[in-house]
Amino acid sequence: MDRVLEEGGYEMDPILAERFGDRITDDRWERITYGRDLAEVPGIFRAFLQLKTVPDLVVRPISTEDVAAVLQYAEKRNIPVIPRGSGSSAFFNSVPINKGITVDLSGLSGIENLDEENEVVTVGAGQRWEDLDKKLRTKGWAICSYPSSAPTATVGGWLNMEGYGIGSLAFGSLLDRVAELEVVLADGSIRSVSRDTTPALSWFAGSDGTLGIVTKVSLKIRRMPSAESHWLISFQDAETLSKAARILAQASPRPYNMGYFSLGYFEFLSRFGHVVPEGEILAVDFEGDPSDILKGEEVVHRVVKEFSAVLVPQELVQVEWEERFYHMRIKRFGPTLMAAEDWLPIQELGPYQERIARLGKNKKTKFYSYGTFVNSEKMTLFTAYRADARQGLGYIVAMALTGSLHRLAIQLGGHPYSVGFWNTPYLPSIYSQDTLNMLKERKQQLDPKGILNPGKHYKYPTLLPPWFFTMGTGVASLLQRFTGPKE
């Protein structure tokens, strides 16, 4: 793999070819599919940033030893290695920045061990969340929390992001539920990692695969709940909803999950024939034994009465619960969906919605928000808007609105969710300088050559410094008023 081909890839090395056989490819058309995630990024923008997003090789390991062999090979030759789960994010977490070897971890799946006595399951990092829960429920167990993209998202992929989603209100982040990891470090060494080791579990959670490749995860699980109930509560405004949400998040019993849907989100769906609830909607879900469900119902009715809210009919409630993995269904109506996902203090939800309403009026754009409450103080909020990737420059200009949404969250005490590549210009808002220095020290300690997922998490690209990014999105935001998406 030392000789570079004219088309920018590497000649297949016989060492790798012999080990992996048909589980390694340098076929260009197959490699192209690994050169993107959910984000639609114009070629001109990639060219400006000098991004080389198509890997030279794609390897599909089926064991930890396979992963170790790839890293031993790459580390000796200073070749970038990019771990990839399902590629279901939009932050370029698993997309190459300067070619290299993409390691597709989907072959590392399945339950390796179910320790019922200690309530722990060990799975391959490529295991998909929805499938894992289905398998566990056949044995009377269930996972504790999962991402809203559970049908496709992998265990290792969600761990390498921040790991907050459905069930986090009751059980915390994914990191809180991990008992042990098996990790392959940059030099190809295999480590068992716990809370008491160095490196520790916490080093790898949310690290974007830049410190090691997680191959196995031991998760704490729970007995399958014997009962559940789901509620949708309609409020006249987001400010009132946020007050009710903070009360519910501290209630006893605490809800398993709470979600938020803006008025605009359901209004948009209604335009395409969906029967939807009206108002600003708070979703409240309880899971447990029958007595917990009854107590939860009492809490819901008390909050509804206190805030003069309205309960949505149960036939609509059940539909929305069954569609909880498909919030992105608004993308079906095209042409292109753009979005910003941020952490936000719950008490700022009302001001946030008021300000994006003004922003939308000014930019002639409508926004659609949904979010998840993870405790009584914080929520993650996903705000989307429609654009058109076919518009070329107009689409690039429209992308500036994502920056406007992030800046609004930052002004209200929040910051972008996850880092990956696209959120590196916001690093000063995501981490304190001391924390960022600590993260860089860990990177230097575990991956001194910088081969693991380079270009992510620790610094912004040279051509996209924060000051330039802010200025550029500001100018583009002005242009967007005339060339951007219209509703």
Largest CA-CA distance found in the chain, in angstroms, rounded: 72
Question: Per the structure block, which two tokens stand in for 197?
Answer: 């080791």
pLDDT 10s digits, 138-184: 999 999 999 999 999 999 999 999 899 999 999 999 999 999 999 99
**Is residue 8 within a helix (H) or strand (E), and if so which, with residue range?**
none
Asked whether the whole model's pTM tops 0.85, one would answer yes
All structural domains of the chain, each given as residue ranges with its CATH number in brackets, are 14-105 (3.30.43.10), 108-223 (3.30.465.10), 227-416 (3.40.462.10), 424-475 (no CATH)
Ranking 20-34, 321-335, 423-437 by mean pLDDT, the lowest is: 321-335
Six token digits for residue 301: 């009715």
Per-residue pLDDT band for 288 (boundaries 50, 70, 90) equals very high
- Compute φ and ψ for 28, nearest 5 degrees: -60, -40
Give, in order, the Cα–Cα distances in Å from 459 to each of 160, 440, 454, 466.
17, 9, 10, 10
- Determine the pLDDT at residue 481: 47
Return the DSSP state at 11.
Answer: P
The mean pLDDT of the chain is 90
Answer yes or no: are the C-beta atoms of 385 and 401 closer than 8 Å.
Answer: yes
Half-sphere exposure of 469 (CA within 13 A, CB side): 22
- Average pLDDT value for residue range 192-197: 96
Alpha-carbon dihedral sign for residues 21, 26, 27, 29: positive
Residue 2 pLDDT > 60: no
Please write the tens of the pLDDT for every residue from 59-112. Answer: 999 999 999 999 999 999 999 999 999 988 888 999 999 999 999 999 999 999
Confidence of residue 39 (pLDDT cuts 50, 70, 90): confident
pLDDT for 418-453, tens place per residue? 999 989 999 999 999 999 999 999 999 999 999 999
Q: In this prediction, what percent of the chain has a pLDDT beyond 70?
A: 90
